[in-house]
Amino acid sequence: MPTGLKRYQEAEDFHFITFSCYRREPFLGSPESRSTFETIFEETREKYAFLVLGYVVMPEHVHLLVDEPRSDPLSLALQVLKQRTSRRINRAEARQFWQSRYYDFNVWSGKKSMEKLRYMHRNPVARGLVSRPEDWAWSSFRHYATGERGTVEIESEWTVCRRQMAKLDVQI
């Protein structure tokens, strides 16, 4: 591990994670590659049983706001996510797909969670990819704005309400 890099895991915090494509190349530049990432992200979320508060997939990097898996280290889930994405998108080429490592910021408060969600959701607008956050399909913004279910399950008030309604339907 590089000098000065500290990770605070197993603290039951949410984590704001950022990782980039190798040399910031736009390997996630196509809609198909971003959708592939989302599919693999959801498969990884299910396998490692962690919650997702938000995410955005940009052409050359990804931001995630997640909690820690129930039984495995977060670093293992991220390693699997990156490896599976690289293999599926990068099949024909033997190039390095991801930069090594990832940036991890522990999120200790609801206020900080909201700050990170706003930052993520505004990222495509700030980069000039779209004029409004809802126009970028590869993020959790639409879920928060409308309750829309996307490829990745987002832990939110919408999701909790759906679960409660499903329980009521079963009991009736």
| 27 phi/psi in degrees, rounded to 5 | -70, -15
User: Tens digits of per-residue pLDDT, 89-114?
Assistant: 987 777 899 999 999 999 999 999 99
* 144, pLDDT greater than 70: yes
Q: Where do we find the tokens 């293992």?
A: 76
In 10 A of CB 9, how many CB atoms? 14
User: Tens digits of per-residue pLDDT, 37-79?
Assistant: 999 999 999 999 999 999 999 999 999 999 999 889 999 999 9
Q: How far is CA 121 from CA 61, 128, 139, in A?
A: 13, 13, 7
Predicted confidence at residue 12, as pLDDT, reads: 67
Predicted confidence at residue 10, as pLDDT, reads: 54
Predicted confidence at residue 172, as pLDDT, reads: 44
